[in-house]
Amino acid sequence: MLRQRQTHGGQNDIKRGKNVSMETDIISTVEFNSSGELLATGDKGGRVVVFQREQESKSQPQRRGEYNVYSTFQSHEPEFDYLKSLEIEEKINKIKWLPQQNAAYFLLSTNDKTVKLWKISERDKRPEGYNLKDEDGRIRDPSTITSLRVPVLQPMDLMVEATARRVFSNAHTYHINSISVNSDLQTYISTDDLRVNLWNLEITDRSFNIVDIKPANMEELTEVITSAEFHPQHCHTFAYSSSKGSIRLCDMRQAALCDKHCKYFEEPEDPSTRSFFSEIISSISDVKFSHNGRYLMTRDYLTVKVWDLQMENKPLETYQVHDYLRGKLCSLYENDCIFDKFECVWNGSDSVIMTGSYNNFFRMFDRNTKRDVTLEASRENSKPRAILKPRKVCVGGKRRKDEISVDSLDFSKKILHTTWHPQENIIAVAATNNLYIFQDKVN
């Protein structure tokens, strides 16, 4: 059972007394770090906000586990490509944390074109004492300088700084849709619509193109890459998904160029359900390896599928996210919602998966019990520590109490980005410009 923990964001509405939120405040990605102590969000305005979990404190035990803002910084700025006359949005498409290597934290953030490596570090000491100035900053009369002073470090209020350590640019002609750090902790991949590039985390002026699906003639283009991820343990394996609903697994040991895949996962299409929308709704919007590295999860418009790496011809499990929309595809096509890119996540033990839907609903599927639940992330219905009530959508006919009709769903309220704490049952859900953090009921 999930309990509301916290809500962040949306302050703009309150301060300005407006109903419409700022477009730039819309959260575009959300990600826990590998210990779960930190949580980062990126938004359309190019900002990254890092939240830190409060340490246990005896005086305020109820605050234990609360996530508070730790650092906010502008990761990307809007740019203009003068050669192609193209605007480059500052929107943060993805954030990936690096495993911690010293007292500082590191993350990669990317917009459409440029990946940046950020360092977030603390400073709690300040040097004091000048030779040429006195304590108040006044210039001292040099004739009074009869001895040298070496500055001394004094404690000060904790300051958190974010500095851009590396900028990886000029490697993508198309829009970057994902980044993924290799288990060798030395390299990462960045993926756009047609190519996958391999980078060394320390080298910014060179990357290696390892997948290129661009046809010689762009008119023959039938498929684009939608997402890619490294295997969590095998440094040589990565998977990428395509707009045609297939996933390719590549082995970097076999060759320097991975244009040839080593495994190809695809479910044969059911001819009985074929329609104008089949191809659009089968496009995969996200692919994620399970933590144990045995499974792949993919999200398409209406379903989440779990694939066994050993079985290429069909998914092991298929979960319906919002099958009630099957009859509404025509209007979803007209309002462009059919092209929404929903992400999906595993819980820490790979037993539950979560993905978003419309009307601020998000779904969870328990792989063992086969039970599923629809929950709602919203400011109105939830007070802090309130227990989330499961929601139901009814299709046509009689609407029972507490049910919501498919026709009254709000398609502008979509939950595209969610993340699950790597060990505990804490989830973060981005609903437009609000971030909701929920925690499993604790005794």
Partner 1 sequence: SPSWSGLNTNRKMRADGDDSLYPIAVLIDELRNEDVQLRLNSIKKLSTIALALGVERTRTELLPFLTDTIYDEDEVLLALAEQLGNFTMLVGGPEYVHCLLPPLESLATVEETVVRDKAVESLRKISQEHSPVDLEVHFEPLVKRLASGDWFTSRTSACGLFSVCYPRVSSTVKAEIRQHFRTLCSDDTPMVRRAAASKLGEFAKVLELDYVKSDIISLFTALASDEQDSVRLLAVEACVSIATLLPQEDLETLVMPTLRQAAEDKSWRVRYMVADKFSELQKAVGPEITKNDLVPAFQNLLKDCEAEVRAAAANKVKEFCENLPEDNREQIIMTHILPCVKELVSDTNQHVKSALASVIMGLSTILGKDNTIEHLLPLFLAQLKDECPEVRLNIISNLDCVNEVIGIRQLSQSLLPAIVELAEDAKWRVRLAIIEYMPLLAGQLGVEFFDEKLNTLCMAWLIDHVYAIREAATCNLMKLVEKFGADWAQNTIVPKVLGMANDPNYLHRMTTLFCINALSDVCGRDITTKQMLPVVLKMSEDQVANVRFNVAKSLQKIGPVLEKITLQNQVKPVLDKLATDKDMDVKYFAHEALSGECLPYEYS
Distance between CA atoms of residues 370 and 200, nearest Å: 41
**Minimal distance in Å, beta carbon 137 to partner 1?**
9
- The verdict on 101 binding partner 1 (CB under 8 A) reads yes
The residue behind tokens 């302050």 is: 11
* Rounded CA separation 371/236 (Å): 35
Residue 158 found at the interface with partner 1 (CB under 8 A): no
**Residue carrying structure tokens 């298929």:** 318
Residue whose CB is less far from partner 1, 117 or 171 = 117
Q: Where are the alpha helices (DSSP H) in 189-343?
A: 278-282, 329-334
Q: How many residues bind to partner 1 according to rule CB under 8 A?
A: 45
Q: Which of these, 430, 360, 389, lies nearest to 10 by C-alpha position?
A: 430
Nearer to partner 1 by Cβ, of 156 and 330: the residue is 156
Angstrom distance (rounded) from CA 81 to CA 84: 6
Query: Distance between CA atoms of 358 and 341, rounded to whole angstroms?
Result: 12
- Site mask, partner 1, residues 184-213, x = CB under 8 A? xxx---------------x-----------
For every residue of 120-150, DSSP letters joined together read EEEEEEEEE--SSB-TTSPBPPGGG--S---
CB closer to partner 1 out of 255 and 311: 255
Cβ contact 38:98 at 8 Å: no
288 in Cβ contact with 231 (< 8 Å):
no
Q: Are 24 and 44 in contact (CB under 8 A)?
A: yes
Show the tokens assigned to 7: 């809500």
Interacting positions 110-129 with partner 1 (CB under 8 A)? 119, 121, 123, 125, 127
Please name the residue that has the structure tokens 């990462």: 188
Q: Report the residue from 183, 318, 423, 425 that binds partner 1 according to the rule CB under 8 A.
A: 183
For partner 1, the closer of residues 146 and 310 by Cβ is 146
Does position 269 interact with partner 1 (CB under 8 A)? The reply is no
Stretch in the footprint of partner 1 (CB under 8 A) among 1-9, 180-188, 377-385, 411-419: 180-188
Q: Residue 143, interface with partner 1 (CB under 8 A)?
A: yes
Q: Nearest distance from residue 166's CB to partner 1, in Å?
A: 10
Shortest Å distance, C-beta 162 to partner 1: 13
Q: Which stretch binds partner 1 (CB under 8 A): 3-11, 220-228, 248-256, 293-301?
A: 248-256
Answer for which of 16, 63, 133, 392 binds partner 1 (CB under 8 A) is 133
SS3 content of the chain, % helix, strand, coil (to 5): 10, 45, 45
Nearer to partner 1, 184 or 366 (CB): 184
d(CA 77, CA 147): 48
Distance of closest approach, residue 11 Cβ to partner 1, in angstroms: 31
User: Could you say whether residue 260 binds partner 1 (CB under 8 A)?
Assistant: no
Binding residues for partner 1 (CB under 8 A):
99-104, 106, 119, 121, 123, 125, 127, 130-133, 139, 141-153, 165, 183-186, 202, 233-236, 252-256
